[in-house]
Chain A
Amino acid sequence: MVHALRGIWRVLAGRGILVDLRPLSGQCPIELVSASTVVHIGEVDATGMAADDAASDRAVQDAVTQGHFLARQDSQFDFDLYWDNVQEMASFMGSSRRMKQVRPSYADLEKAYLVLSAEGPERVRLRCRRRTTLAVYRKADDSKFEY
């Protein structure tokens, strides 16, 4: 990560902007969503890369502490992922490095999905909300990153 930041610092113009955008590790709610209803039915454990995230945080913090970048802004928002059915969701989770463990089981999620779908003609989808962070830094004018 330090090498990546050093390279980015090099290719940024003076007072250039670095934006670090990534999801936060943690539990993400799974909901059933229709036009009229939102029902919480479970959670995804999205802590699969917590150690990597912590290392990234340290690398950025070190770059700031050493004066290579100046912190300008930090904000958070929800990044929504939607699936049309439980099978699509399971397929996505199978290929995700960050999101693995789903609670309750896919079978239980499927039951909840079928129950809500049977209540009316509205389209029902699954939604997972990922808390995401966006941090903005400015390349410091007078820093010298060795590379």
Chain B
Amino acid sequence: MASELDPDGVESRILLQATDFSNARVLEVGSGDGRLALRYANASAFVVGIEPQETELATAVEACASHLRQRVSFLRASALALPFRNETFDIAVLAWSL
């Protein structure tokens, strides 16, 4: 495992500059260990991260700070069968996953 991935937060900064996350309902596809979702979660209404791999999912859940738990959830799911109703989200982030 790398000691540090993107320690300066360039990725999340560019992401937040690219579109308006304020009050947005966000779906992150391929949320992995939650690294990215947890960096922008504060800027949005809520974030749902989906990840097919159980170990990554467990890491994400554990990494989620208590003050973010009302706003962030991680689910085991695949982009090929999204378990959500139509028009549930304002933003979908494909995080290294397409």
The reply to whether chain A is a binding partner of chain B is yes
Interface membership of chain A positions 63-94, coded 1 if the CB is closer than 8 angstroms to chain B and 0 otherwise: 00000000001010111111110001101100
Asked whether A19 lies within 8 Å of B1 as measured between CB atoms, the reply is no
Asked whether B2 lies within 8 Å of A18 as measured between CB atoms, the reply is no
Q: Chain A contact residues (Cβ within 8 angstroms of B): what range?
A: 35 or more
Asked whether A11 lies within 8 Å of B98 as measured between CB atoms, the reply is no
The answer to whether the Cβ of A59 comes within 8 Å of any Cβ in the partner chain is yes
Instruction: Report the bound CA distance from A18 to B92 in whole Å.
Output: 5
Chain B interface SS verdict (over half): mixed
Partner among A7, A19, A78, A92 whose Cβ is within 8 Å of the Cβ of B80: A7
Asked whether A92 lies within 8 Å of B2 as measured between CB atoms, the reply is yes
B89–chain A nearest beta-carbon distance, Å: 5
Asked whether B91 lies within 8 Å of A17 as measured between CB atoms, the reply is yes
Q: If A7-B79, A11-B88, A12-B87 touch, does A82 touch B29 (CB 8 Å cutoff)?
A: no
Residue contacts A-B, CB under 8 angstroms, 28 given: A4-B79, A4-B80, A7-B81, A7-B82, A11-B84, A11-B86, A11-B87, A11-B88, A11-B89, A13-B87, A13-B88, A14-B87, A16-B87, A17-B90, A17-B91, A19-B19, A19-B93, A21-B94, A21-B95, A22-B94, A22-B97, A22-B98, A60-B98, A77-B10, A82-B7, A132-B11, A134-B14, A134-B18
